[in-house]
């Protein structure tokens, strides 16, 4: 890897007015790992996914295989095609 070269995309996190509707079963693993108050806040957040080309709730982004990390209101994404 060359110095200073990024191998990820930077995507901004937005806050919506209403909590996102998520598919059933998508939060099962997260409920034990994340506190209820943090989970409640995260349900209102979304990102403009560079892979899917649409707005996606942050919790679905968080569970995606392309997710690397979240830093100061931004998500670092691998940007690879999903199978």
Query: Residue 48 domain-assigned?
Result: yes
Number of domains in the chain: 1
Q: How far apart are CA 26 and CA 4, in angstroms?
A: 36
Cα distance between residue 81 and residue 83, in whole Å: 7
Residue 16 in any domain: the answer is yes
* 1 within domain boundaries: no
Can you say whether the dihedral through the CA atoms of 44, 48, 54, 56 is positive or negative? negative
The boundaries of the domain holding residue 39 are: 9-77
Query: Does the predicted model carry a pTM greater than 0.85?
Result: no
Is pLDDT at 1 greater than 70 in this prediction?
A: no
pLDDT digits (tens, 9 = 90+) for 21-75: 888 887 787 778 888 898 889 999 999 999 999 999 999 998 889 999 999 999 9
30 within a domain of the structure (yes/no): yes
């Amino acid at each position: 890897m060359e110095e200073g070269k990024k191998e990820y995309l930077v995507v901004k996190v937005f806050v919506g007015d209403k909590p996102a509707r998520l598919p059933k079963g998508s939060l099962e693993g997260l409920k034990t790992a994340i506190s209820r108050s943090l989970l409640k806040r995260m349900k209102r957040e979304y990102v403009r996914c560079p892979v899917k080309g649409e707005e996606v709730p942050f919790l679905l982004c968080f569970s995606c295989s392309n997710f690397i990390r979240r830093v100061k209101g931004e998500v670092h994404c691998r940007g690879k095609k999903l199978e």
